[in-house]
Structure 1
Amino acid sequence: MLNGQVTKTTIKQAVLRSLFVLGLAGSVLNPSLSQAQSINAGGREAVAENPFKVQEVAAFNTPWAIAFLPDQRLLVTEKAGHIFLTDQKGKKTEVANVPPVSFEGQNGLLDIAVSPDFATDKLVYFTYAEPERSGKDVLSSLTFARAKLSEKDGKASLDDLTVLWRQMPKSKWGQPGGIIAFSPDGKYLFLTSGDRMNPKTAQDPKLALGKVLRFNRDGSVPQDNPRSDLAGQDADNARALTWTTGHRNPYGLAFAADGKLWLHEMGPKGGDELNLIKQGLNYGWPVVSNGTQYSGEAIPHHETRPEFEPPVIYWTPVIAPAGLAFYEGGLFKDWKGSALIGGLASMALIRVAFKDNGDADEAERYDMGNRIRDVAVAKDGSVYVIEDDIPGRLLRLTPK
């Protein structure tokens, strides 16, 4: 307010905040966003011959995530609550001081990401299901933490661990989400939070479930978040941290080279999605989906509700996407700019190509013969994938 008068900016901010609460901001300000036709890539077949050779680097017990350090060693999480520092030759060093996790069903130790300033701060960020017993049940919170990765005399440990955020209330169910992505400028952290198998939570603005959340790197609320004015008014800052709404089970989140943020999430029976993430939009779950309930009950499709943002690509039958990385290396020249997605149910590595106008489609599918949990790209342009298995192999892919 200037000189006792309401400015146009103030009015616009008030309107945006009201629309955000309703989940309508994107479709009202730009109706064309919700009118695009989604592509169903679910019935695609794998290519006849993979264009890469496969080298086994190391093996793990139900690994979940991989992340490169600047020196190109990898951090690998195991779902049961272990982290390993692994070099390119497969030598493994277990990292000490990992916090206890609730390892059951889909829960456990989840994603790990390396600080953009790791050379100076040595920080790693990670997510896990933090356990708490309640009677006969083991409850858990999706927990977002950081710690200093210390190395000495051939040993490694997590030191000075700080919990940045806990999802509340606690739950005994799966679908935690937990994928971390740094903004291209390194200032902000984005985190996926699943609906914990309670679909209606994804549309509840007071719960940080079924959402994408945006943090400062210290875990605080960025002042330019859509509802930063509500910071401190929820037990877990749910409304103040929410960036987008209406997600089910998001296990992939990454920025493309052009700065756009992409997310994939598992649908119910059908309807896995690849979404372009834009501030304040509502992606519809569980009101709409391009899949159906496991019971066979129909769910209205995205096209029936234009106020919700539709996926760019969906997969029916499902691929069960897990892990997401954008390829900007030099070894696979045809892959430049593509998204690489691990497939669990599809036992595949899926390549998605993008056009200049922003359209995307599955370009190729590579049969891997096992469930692929995560994917990452090394500095030399080789691609690393991890299998969801016991043992689950860490594999290096290079051109034939």
Structure 2
Amino acid sequence: MKLLAATTVWVSLLACAHGQGINAGHNQAEPTKPFVAREVASFDTPWAIAFLPDGRMLVTEKPGRIFLVTQSGRKTPVGNVPAVAAVSQNGLLDIAVSPHFQSDRGIYFSFSEPGPGGSSLALARATLAVSETAATLEDRQVIWRQSPKGGGGQPGGVIAFDPDGSHLFLTSGDRMRPLTAQDPDQALGKVLRLNPDGSTPADNPHADEGGVRAQTWTMGHRNPYGLAFAPDGKLWLHEMGPRGGDELNLIEPGGNYGWPLVSNGDNYDGTPIPRHSTRPEFVPPVLYWNPVIAPAGLAFYDGRMFPQWRGSALIGGLASMALVRVTFDGRGGAAEADRWDMGARIRDVAVAPDGALWVIEDDDPGRLLRLTPGKS
């Protein structure tokens, strides 16, 4: 329990240092963009992009399809995708490439798994088999699933591997059942840390307690649609707040981020929620947005095309129809540096091996865009 004790001290210091966080909600989009956007392909309500080492992409569509896509826009359907519960915010969600893809050809994806009583978040692993004319998922298996099933949106489902590729992190939303985020025995409103095979790491904060508690890295989250490691190894998460109060959080093991007991926004019916500053035992956001941007997708830039962006995070905005760039001070602080009007709901952001930035739109058709330097 020494790790947990040290973590509790760090989380308390973090809360004191940042108070309630910085509100970037009133920032305005800039009229001139430092990039040119070129449409490469379009999809039916796309959700996520993942790059293979050779520069090709895997793109998921929320209704339940995966495509292998070249940088010129040629789309090959991927076979053997499981049935998904594609209702409202639920469906086929994130996709990630194994850190050891060159040797294991592994991919991971999350989806809303249908069943009696509704749906629940599931995480699957498979081997990607590709020929000249086809692609399919082989040896597909669900390696983790949330239970019990039920209704509601806000599934979360974002996947991130740590820098050395030894552990997998998965976000699980509260499915519009807010109190579950504070229930340690339900895998809703949590960030989970798993081994690549779906088992529980022995060094998780509560590994000796078993079940959901053993898999939980952090709790108290609402609707987390962004999770990524920064170049310095820090793990960052963004989540959608209620009416106001979207958050960017620095994730530390054992932390409780307060939802639904605190928020920097209010309930949709107008009733207030206590602010983070009133409950110092909960970790406050480093940065928040009220009014909201509805963040979706999170990628740290380390490419060559935009050297001035290195170390920055790029975040898509659904409600704001924007692309947001966030900078970091190296001491746990962050600030919104830029916001560009994209004229569409941006669902995901990814950096290609050549340094180009790629985004997809949350629409049908939703465009896949390649962003390269230039004024527009």
TM-score grouping bracket, smaller chain normalisation? over 0.9
Output the aligned Cα RMSD.
1.2
- Provide the residue aligned with 1:93 in structure 2: 76
Shift of 1:189: 0.1
In structure 1, runs of 5+ residues without a counterpart are 1-9, 20-24, 232-236
Give the structure-1-normalised TM-score. 0.91
Name 1:6's counterpart in structure 2. Answer: none
Q: Which of 360, 364, 373 matches 1:386? A: 360
Helix, strand or coil for the counterpart of 1:83?
strand
Equivalent residue, structure 2, for 1:161: 140
Structure 1 equivalent of residue 12 of structure 2 = 31
In the TM superposition, what is the alpha-carbon distance from 1:220 to its structure 2 partner? 0.3
- Aligned-residue offset at 1:355: 1.3
Is contact 2:11–2:255 with CA below 8 Å preserved after alignment? no
Contact 1:329 1:336 in 2 (8 A): yes
Give 2:192's aligned residue: 213
Cα deviation digits, residues 113-165 of structure 1 (max 9, x gap)? 0001111111100000010144xxxx001000000111124100011111111
CA distance in 2, matches of 1:355, 1:332: 19
Task: Give the corresponding residue for 1:60.
Answer: 43
1:356 alignment partner in structure 2: 330
1:50–1:366 CA contact under 8 A, matched in 2? yes
Opposite residue 250 of structure 1, the aligned amino acid is P
Give the letter aligned to residue 14 of structure 2: L
Q: Does 1:192 align with 2:171?
A: yes
- Cα shift at 1:32: 2.3
Matches within 5 A, 1:278-289: 278-289=252-263
- Matched residues in 1 for 2:111 and 2:369: separation? 24
- Single out whichever of 203-212 and 26-35 deviates more from structure 2: 26-35
Distance 1:280 1:150, change over 3 A: same
Q: Matched residues in 2 for 1:30 and 1:266: separation? A: 21
Instruction: Tell whether the 8 Å contact from 1:206 to 1:238 is kept in structure 2 after alignment.
Output: yes
Q: Deviations over 1:73-110 (max 9, x none)?
A: 00000000000000000000000100000000000000
Offset of residue 173 of structure 1: 1.0
Identify the match of residue 203 of structure 1 among 182, 202, 218. Answer: 182
Q: 1:105-144 alignment to 2 at 5 Å?
A: 105-134=88-117, 139-144=118-123
Letter in 1 for 2:146: Q
Cα-to-partner distance string for 1:305-346 (whole Å, 9 max, x where unaligned): 000000000000000000000001121122110000000000
User: Shift of residue 356 of structure 1?
Assistant: 3.0
Moved more, 182-191 or 152-161: 152-161
- Which has the greater radius of gyration? 1
CA distance in 1, matches of 2:286, 2:156: 20
Letter in 2 for 1:34: A
Equivalent-residue separation in structure 2 for 1:28 and 1:218 (angstroms): 31
CA gap 1:284/1:115 in 2 versus in 1, 3 angstroms: same
**CA-to-partner distance for each residue in 1:219-258, whole Å, 9 max, x for gaps?**
0000000111123xxxxx3111000010000000000000
Question: Which residue in the other structure is 2:213 paired with?
Answer: 239
After superposition, give the CA deviation of every residue in 1:294-313 in whole Å (9 maximum; x if it has no partner): 00000000011000000000
**In 2, distance between residues paired with 1:205 and 1:291?**
24
User: Cα–Cα, structure 1 residues 30 and 393, in superposed 2: closer, same or farther, change >3 Å?
Assistant: closer
1:47 pairs, out of 7, 10, 30, with: 30
- Structure 1 letter corresponding to 2:13: S
AA in 1 matched with 2:344: N
Task: Check if 1:326 corresponds to 2:307.
Answer: no
Counterpart-to-counterpart distance in 1, 2:238 and 2:100: 27
Q: Distance in 2 between matches of 1:30 and 1:282?
A: 9
Give, in whole Å, the separation in 2 of the partners of 1:209 and 1:151: 35
Q: Distance in 2 between matches of 1:72 and 1:153?
A: 16
User: What is the SS of the residue equivalent to 1:111?
Assistant: strand
How many pairs were matched up?
372
1:27–1:33 CA contact under 8 A, matched in 2: no
Counterpart CA distance in 2 for 1:78 and 1:228 is 35
| Residue equivalent to 1:145 | 124
Tell me whether 307-316 or 148-157 shows the greater mean CA deviation.
148-157
Is the 8 Å Cα contact of residues 26 and 33 (structure 1) preserved in structure 2? Answer: no
Structure 1 CA distance for aligned equivalents of residues 330 and 82 of structure 2 = 44
Is the CA contact (8 Å cut-off) linking 1:27 and 1:34 kept in structure 2?
no
Structure 1 residues 290-305: aligned runs within 5 Å: 290-305=264-279
4+ residue runs over 4 A deviation: 25-30
